[in-house]
Amino acid sequence: METLVETSKAVPVSGNILVDRKKITELVDQLRLTIPEEIRSAEDVLSQKDQILNTAANDARRTKSMAEDELRERLNSSELVTQAEARAAETVRDAEERITRMLQQSETEALSRKTEADAYALRSLRAMEVELGKLSGSVRKGIEVLAEQTASNMNSRRYAEEEEAASGMLR
């Protein structure tokens, strides 16, 4: 966008520039295409979070099932039963802690990516707003200059016509 502003033709006397509508439209379109990509990236992170949660839940179920199987096998001895119950409870507790950690990590990462995407989109939109404001100001000043020139030309022509009419009356 800076290159477009720097290479645009200056409007005499006004300090403004004339910007190629096609080029600025292309830049705006590029910005529109870039912003949705950042949003898709944040959605991918959220999708990954669900996959991680599903994997963790499957791991927990598998671990719990293995612990239950082991418990059943050792039911023959009370000491073994006590040990198995303790190990099963510990395994379940470990699995739940892993799930909790993975969930927190996924949510933190998803929020971070979404925040980054939102910040990028906001910066891009603000930059676009500034450039469009400059462009609007340039257009407005160009209109004013042309309006003044047109009015001046019309006044000069009327004066010449009035002078001609007045000299015709004197003859």
CB within 8 A of 20, min separation 6: which ones? 4, 8
> Residue 121 has what pLDDT?
92
Rank 36-40, 45-49, 85-89, 167-171 by mean pLDDT and report only the highest. 85-89
Mean pLDDT of 120-132: 93
**Confidence (pLDDT) at 171:** 58
- Give the mean model confidence (pLDDT) for residues 112-137: 93
In SS3 terms, the chain reads as: CHHHHHHCEEECCCCEEECCHHHHHHHHHHHHHHHHHHHHHHHHHHHHHHHHHHHHHHHHHHHHHHHHHHHHHCCCCHHHHHHHHHHHHHHHHHHHHHHHHHHHHHHHHHHHHHHHHHHHHHHHHHHHHHHHHHHHHHHHHHHHHHHHHHHHHHHHHHHHHHHHHHHHHHC
Instruction: Encode pLDDT of 19-28 as tens digits.
Output: 888 888 888 8
pLDDT score of 80: 67
- Reported confidence tier of residue 94, pLDDT bands at 50, 70, 90: very high
pLDDT band at 97 (very low <50, low <70, confident <90, very high): very high
Model confidence at 152: pLDDT above 70 = yes
Average pLDDT, the chain: 85
- Pick the range with the lowest mean pLDDT from 30-39, 57-66, 128-137, 140-149: 30-39
Residue 111 predicted with pLDDT over 90: yes
Section 43-71 average pLDDT: 84
